[in-house]
Copies of this chain bind each other. A is one copy, B any other.
Amino acid sequence: MRIPKHIGIIPDGNRRWALSNSLSKDKGYDHGINPGLEVFKLCQKENIQEVTFYGFTIDNTKRPSDQKIAFTKACIDSVMLLTKEDCEILVLGNTESSCFPKELLPFTKRKKFGSGGIKANFLINYGWEWDLNLLKNADISKKHIQPHLQSKDISRIDLIIRWGGRRRLSGLLPVQSVYSDFYILDNYWPDFKKEDFYDALSWYNEQDITLGG
């Protein structure tokens, strides 16, 4: 089986899950923490080299404050859970804004936990425009784009898995996703099940990879 090197996770549907379970929208995020740990462990088991979690974006911080508090806390808790595992964590986002949780500042340079191994990236207070804006500092004579991005330490994504049925990137790493295959699941992220992950891997195994060629 051909296994992706790098998987991007869009854990969407937390608020819709909450509503469908008679909870207020902000109560959904907490239920998204454990699925993240499960996905991480499955990636580790399948020897995937890198996994990126779409935490929250600069756009998301315009939501009502109870939601903002809830998703920020869920992201912090998710990162902290992974510090108990063998991995190398990177948190990427705009740290110059008060929306970036200071608890995560120590992770803005990649940090090894346990015996290291799989890279685990979290996008926290991330914005695609913020990411690309750094390019304006780069020397035009340099041919490539990636080394000049805010997200330069995150590699090209092979497979993006999105929960919650929407078929869009929502601003996730525009450069790293130019050739990514997208797999969409209709169930909400808090309803994550192991089969979702394996369905995505089986589907990916059947795709041919051309990298634009």
Say if the beta carbon of A77 comes within 8 Å of chain B: no
Q: 7 smallest A-B Cβ distances: which pairs?
A: A59-B212, A174-B174, A135-B135, A136-B140, A167-B182, A136-B138, A171-B178
Say if the beta carbon of A186 comes within 8 Å of chain B: no
Give the CA-CA distance A116 to B168 in the complex, in Å. Answer: 31
Give the CA-CA distance A132 to B59 in the complex, in Å. Answer: 22
**Are B140 and A137 within 8 A (Cβ)?**
yes
Q: How many copies does the complex hold?
A: 2
**Are A167 and B148 within 8 A (Cβ)?**
no
Say if the beta carbon of A153 comes within 8 Å of chain B: no
**Are A211 and B59 within 8 A (Cβ)?**
yes
Residues of chain A whose beta carbon lies under 8 Å from any beta carbon of chain B: 57, 59-60, 62-63, 128-129, 132-133, 135-140, 142-145, 148, 166-171, 174-175, 177-183, 207, 210-213
Q: A136-B140, A140-B133, A213-B62 are in contact. Are A182 and B168 (CB under 8 A)?
A: yes
Give the CA-CA distance A59 to B138 in the complex, in Å. Answer: 23
Give the Cβ gap from A16 to chain B, nearest Cβ, in Å. Answer: 10
> Which one of B136, B167, B174 contacts A136 once the chains associate, using CB atoms below 8 Å?
B136
Q: List residues of chain B with CB within 8 A of the CB of A169.
A: 177-180
Given contacts A168-B180, A170-B212, 9 further A-B contacts (CB under 8 A): A57-B212, A60-B213, A136-B136, A136-B138, A136-B140, A167-B183, A168-B182, A169-B180, A170-B178
Q: List residues of chain B with CB within 8 A of the CB of A167.
A: 181-183, 207
Give the CA-CA distance A137 to B143 in the complex, in Å. Answer: 13
8 A-B pairs with CB atoms under 8 Å apart are A57-B212, A59-B212, A132-B132, A133-B140, A166-B181, A166-B207, A167-B183, A169-B177
